[in-house]
Amino acid sequence: MIRIKRDNLNTLARQHYKNVESFSPKLTERLEERSRKPGVLQSFYKQLFKDVKLKNSESLLISTPEKLEEKIKEYTNTFGFDFSKNIHKTLRRELQRVFDYSGYAKEYGYWLAKELKVNVCPYCNRQYTFTVSRGRNKIVRPEFDHFYNKKTYPYLSLSFYNLIPSCSICNRLKGFQNFNIKKNIHPYLSGFNPIAKFKTKLNGIEAIWGDSDKIELLLNTGGNPLVKKNAKTFKLKELYNGYGTIRKNDVSGHRDYVIEIIQKRLIYNSSYIDELFETYQGIFFKTREDAVRLVLSNYVTEDGLEKRVLSKLTKDISEEWGLL
Report the interface residues with Zn ion, using CB under 5 A.
Answer: 121, 123-124, 127, 167, 170
CA 256 to centroid of chain Cα atoms: 25
Nearest to residue 324, comparing CAs of 315, 255, 258?
315
| Cβ at position 164, least distance to Zn ion in Å | 10
φ/ψ of residue 273, rounded to 5? -65, -40
Please say which residue, 126 or 265, places its beta carbon nearer to Zn ion.
Answer: 126
Please say which residue, 88 or 126, places its beta carbon nearer to Zn ion.
Answer: 126
Torsion angle in degrees (nearest 10) through CA of 169, 170, 172, 177: 160
CA distance 26 to 47: 16
Please say which residue, 265 or 312, places its beta carbon nearer to Zn ion.
Answer: 312
Q: How open is the CA angle 62-63-69, to the nearest 5 degrees? A: 140
| Cβ at position 167, least distance to Zn ion in Å | 3
| Cβ at position 123, least distance to Zn ion in Å | 4
| Cβ at position 124, least distance to Zn ion in Å | 3
Nearest to residue 17, comparing CAs of 148, 146, 159?
159
| Cβ at position 144, least distance to Zn ion in Å | 13
Report yes or no: 96 and 157 within 8 Å, Cβ to Cβ.
yes
Please say which residue, 2 or 170, places its beta carbon nearer to Zn ion.
Answer: 170
Q: How far is CA 273 from CA 226, 255, 319, in A?
A: 36, 24, 14
Q: How many CB atoms lie within 10 A of CB 9?
A: 18
Please say which residue, 84 or 127, places its beta carbon nearer to Zn ion.
Answer: 127
Please say which residue, 35 or 230, places its beta carbon nearer to Zn ion.
Answer: 230
| Cβ at position 165, least distance to Zn ion in Å | 10
